[in-house]
Structure 1
Amino acid sequence: MYLTQALHRQVRQTPGLPATIFQGRTRTWAECGDRVARFAAALLDLEVRPGDRVGILAHNSDIYHEFLFAVPWADAVVTPANTRWSPAEIAFSLVDSGTDVLLVDDAFAPMVPTLREQHPGLRAVLHSGTGPAPDGALDLEELIAGHDPVPDACRGGDQLAGIYYTGGTTGRPKGVMLSHANLLTSALGSAATGAFMVPGGRYLHAAPMFHLADGAAWATCNALGGTHVMVPGFTPAGVAAAIQEHRVTDVLLVPTMIQMLVDSPDAADADLSSVRHLLYGASPISVALLERAAKRLPAAEFTQAYGMTELSPVTTILNPADHAVDRLRRSAGRAAPHSEVRIVDELDNEVPRGTVGEIVSRGGHVMQGYWNRPEETEAALRGGWMHSGDGGYMDDEGYVFVVDRIKDMIVSGGENVYSAEVENALAKHPAVAACAVIGVPDPDWGERVHAVVVPTGAERPAIEELRGYLKEQIAGYKAPRSVEYVDALPLSGAGKVLKRELRKRHWADTDRSVS
């Protein structure tokens, strides 16, 4: 299996059908195939060699789609950069992965001097857009036009396809290594449910394309011969307009985005009746939101996917029919066709049904490991199972219910936030003697990043000051949205902060400890 296989198939079978639609520009599969082969030729001319890492720092576009094909066509590895991260975090991911070549669009061109300074090993920068190019950058369209197509290297199977960075429990992002077989196993298994996408339909990239949730949907759409419709980023008005204009059949959103779409006055008059599948993840959907969404998208079926980057990313699926059953709407569904799921205790023994333990999964979708982190890889993949760090239980029908997080992670608005990253940055503030970061319930974001701070003296900075300070070090979405000051943090006998005690009063009236 290789990711470019779908491109070859579409060029042969449906060369004249649209492959991509973006900002008034439509490209057919034949045009896409030609551009990808020329794009790959340009990479080879830049001395990209087998296994080299090629990065992209850009918003959603048809160029992003071509990049995801061109890099493996040139026998290289993709390293998508998180557009929401700070320059320091992005630079770390580029240095850590050893990214040799980077593609940027207009939005991120001004960041290039900083990235070059922090990553001297960056050999070449490509620019796509109409604005000013960074000094020394190469124009992508000129490169594509100036090169003849080259044959596909057919990089595939267990060869590395991409390194996808996720938050780190120790305060540094870690690169998840996924093969072509990993990504295609997850995509084809999800497609096999029949609850993901319309074959030959139109999928809207509203979620960021650097994120593996959208990346998996990209691979699924390719496998099913669909058309990719892109908007640069999520806005209710932009998504609604794209759905109406291009008769989008499938879209992936997190519950926070769904809420914004169905409640926004800017999207109220749009015709959303073409949508057949609304995919969501990161957290369950409330009954009230599900009812509002069903009214606004009358033809849509709702499917929840649960997983993580390390699982390429899907491991369980809550099908449309399950959404009609009250008790199941709080579940994460059952194991997907390509996945096996168990609930285990601390010794990795499977626990009885209904007993809370750690959710683990195995199958062809499980990552190869963490880039340059053998010890963390061994711990996560012990016994051949990916240990999710999520606590949950399984009922007698195999439905999985997530009730807590064993790993110290918060999911806010669909983004993973590791407490250690925030705490490391927050602890540098002169007014902070000690701190702990937890997730608390939030009606808009599912969970809100919340800081509990022991001050160094009488000064108690407002949340706005703390957020401004933190945004210089970490992405804005990781910065706490609320803060409370305490005289001391609760500690265990070993001196570890008892975060469960800090969370208890915030989650006391809920049936879970996470959203």
Structure 2
Amino acid sequence: MIHSCSTAPQLYLSALRQNPENIAIQTENRSVTCRQLETLGWQTVRVLQQQGLHTGDTIALLMSNRLESLVALLAVQLMGLRYVSLHPMASPEDHKFVLSDSQANALIIDDQNYSDRKLALADAVPTMIELEGTADRPGLMMLAPAMDDSPLTPPEDPGISYRLAYTGGTTGRSKGVIHTHRTLTTMVMQMLATYEWPDTPRYLVTTPISHAGGSLVIPTLLKGGTIYFMDKYSPELFLRMVEKYRINFTFLVPTQIYGLLDYPRLSEFDHSSLELVLYGASPIAPSRLQQVLHTFGQVFGQIYGQSEAPMTISYLAPKDHIADQPERLRSCGKIIIGNQVQLLSADGKPVPTGEIGELCVRSPLIMEKYLNRPEENEKVFAGGWLHTGDMARMDTNGYLYLVDRNKDMIISGGFNVYPSEVEHCLAQHPHVASSAVIGIPHEKWGEQVTAVVVPRRDVDCSAEDLISYVTKHKGAVNSPKQIIFVDELPLTAVGKIDKKALRAQSWAGEGRQIH
């Protein structure tokens, strides 16, 4: 253990104890200091223990962006539970799969915002714990204040798993990515060393705290900053909060940035306090990036990572966001110190500078492995590298440029959509003979989920019916925004559906097969 690193709870406690009277969380009606947040965390641990949970158990979280959610997440970390976050926009079917595959012992659900999911998931997990509850059935937040708040000894082994992050693939169901505390510590240290942090961050969380938005909480607290939450994003609310609280740090996905640019009252708000706006989750159109730089100034930094190596593979710093250099704006930046990256050909050999290869990574940042997927582990770690599935080139100055994905994945509005799962859903519709799902360029969403469908003969198949069907079974994010009916799908020489041919017309002239 002499060479071990910090664990997640140790990082939290370091952040909370170095400035105990600092405001950790600011809501419209309440300020919570670092000392108070730690107290709430330990009290909530006692409630979880009363529910029969033990260190090492797996707990699922379905929560919105609010103070109580962060308290619950902190308690989970302090207790040494392994957590898996359910995406708020996923369907009940997908939630049930994750709960089953992860063998979750319990689910903490934000019953104030997801009351409709309580009944749907009641039989999918041994124990359901409500965040709020009722007078007759009090939840975590009602029970915690009466509990003992004395500290316990948090987990000290950075090699144990602290989180499962579910990601999809081109075939089959989602995979559970096992992350140890080593991944989190590496990510936090790289963030602190790389980003141009404000002296005292005032961080506005605009995306789910259970996912990318939550990754910036610990470094913000370590910097002595304060967290502000947005539960439902809108351009107007974002601008109002930036102006009211003098927000100087945030994370946005490209569709949120597009919404700000297109908001007709943008000029009425003061956003001059913004010092660093990180963005990522999907590529951004260079033309829109030029527009946002002219509007907000040179305060943007692009992050690149993936579930298997979260957030900090590479970084395009604000100084590299030069509006009159559109080619540089297509880059996802330079490799962050501590990572090794090579672009490899199909036979595993490095490609020459300027040529395209698969972006592969070695780093203490990367995942331990996939949960119960030995054959997938063998493929993703082939040759001793993490194979990201992203195709890229590197210029002579060390800037990376993503040009395509060899994984059949669509990124729409910052969310990953896996065509095989949508196609599997469509295949169950009685009016669909076959389908192929592709992403086509879209000004707002980056890529628009489009289904090319061969209907069964002699049936009345409507686009509205198919869109509604996928929305019901897979959630709004996965639902096609456009249905194209055809008599047959193009095939390759070996009989597979030729998606490149389907994409070719829509992507012609784009310069890169990613938007």
| TM-score under structure 2 length normalisation | 0.94
What residue is the counterpart of 1:43 in the other structure? 48
For the 8 Å contact 1:125–1:138, the answer to whether it is kept is no
Displacement of 1:282:
2.8
What residue is the counterpart of 2:60 in the other structure? 55
What residue is the counterpart of 1:113 in the other structure? 119
Distance 1:48 1:251, change over 3 A: same
What residue is the counterpart of 2:3 in the other structure? none
Match of 2:91 among 76, 79, 86: 86
Deviations 1:2-60 (A, max 9, x none): 12233323443311111012232211101001000111122122221121112211111
- Find the aligned partners of 1:268 and 1:348 in 2 and give their Cα distance: 51
- Find the aligned partners of 1:361 and 1:315 in 2 and give their Cα distance: 8
Match of 2:300 among 293, 302, 312: 302
Match of 2:127 among 123, 130, 137: 123
Displacement of 1:295:
4.5
- State whether structure 2 residue 438 is matched by structure 1 residue 438: yes
Q: How many residues in Structure 1 have an aligned counterpart in Structure 2?
A: 506
Distance 1:357 1:488, change over 3 A: same
Letter in 2 for 1:7: Y
Distance 1:399 1:362, change over 3 A: same
Gaps of 5+ in 1: none
Distance 1:27 1:357, change over 3 A: same
Deviations 1:278-301 (A, max 9, x none): 111133433442344234434x51
What residue is the counterpart of 1:161 in the other structure? 162
What residue is the counterpart of 1:311 in the other structure? 309
Gaps of 5+ in 2: 1-5
Q: How does 1:297-376 map to 2 (within 5 A)?
A: 297-298=296-297, 301-324=299-322, 325-376=325-376
Question: Please, what is the CA RMSD of the aligned residues?
Answer: 1.9
Letter in 1 for 2:118: V
Q: How does 1:75-224 map to 2 (within 5 A)?
A: 75-105=80-110, 106-117=112-123, 119=124, 121-128=125-132, 138-149=138-149, 150-195=151-196, 197-211=197-211, 213-224=212-223
What residue is the counterpart of 2:425 in the other structure? 425
Letter in 2 for 1:185: T
Match of 2:75 among 49, 55, 70: 70
- Find the aligned partners of 1:274 and 1:61 in 2 and give their Cα distance: 23
Letter in 1 for 2:462: A
Letter in 2 for 1:4: P
- Find the aligned partners of 1:469 and 1:343 in 2 and give their Cα distance: 40
What residue is the counterpart of 1:491 in the other structure? 491
Q: Which moved more, 1:105-114 or 1:430-439?
A: 105-114
For the 8 Å contact 1:124–1:137, the answer to whether it is kept is no
Letter in 2 for 1:269: E
Distance 1:137 1:261, change over 3 A: farther
What residue is the counterpart of 2:236 in the other structure? 237
- Find the aligned partners of 1:378 and 1:301 in 2 and give their Cα distance: 41
Displacement of 1:312:
2.0
- State whether structure 2 residue 8 is matched by structure 1 residue 3: yes
For the 8 Å contact 2:68–2:131, the answer to whether it is kept is no
Letter in 2 for 1:15: P
For the 8 Å contact 1:335–1:341, the answer to whether it is kept is yes
For the 8 Å contact 1:463–1:481, the answer to whether it is kept is no
Match of 1:22 among 16, 24, 27: 27
What residue is the counterpart of 1:451 in the other structure? 451
Displacement of 1:86:
0.7
- Find the aligned partners of 1:470 and 1:51 in 2 and give their Cα distance: 36
Displacement of 1:199:
4.1
- In the TM superposition, structure 1's runs of 4+ consecutive aligned residues that sit over 6 Å from their partners are none
Q: Secondary structure at the match of 1:141?
A: helix
Distance 1:272 1:374, change over 3 A: same
- Find the aligned partners of 1:346 and 1:138 in 2 and give their Cα distance: 56
Deviations 1:111-168 (A, max 9, x none): 1121012x1x422322237xx69xx964112321232024142355121111111223
Displacement of 1:484:
1.3
Deviations 1:224-283 (A, max 9, x none): 232111111311122112211111111111111011023213554222111100111133
Q: Secondary structure at the match of 1:375?
A: helix
Displacement of 1:194:
3.2
- State whether structure 2 residue 398 is matched by structure 1 residue 393: no
- Find the aligned partners of 1:334 and 1:71 in 2 and give their Cα distance: 34
Displacement of 1:173:
1.8
Letter in 1 for 2:176: G
Deviations 1:430-477 (A, max 9, x none): 221111001111111111111111111144633322111111210211
- Find the aligned partners of 2:418 and 2:305 in 1 and give their Cα distance: 16
- Find the aligned partners of 1:114 and 1:293 in 2 and give their Cα distance: 42
Displacement of 1:326:
2.8
Q: Secondary structure at the match of 2:122?
A: helix
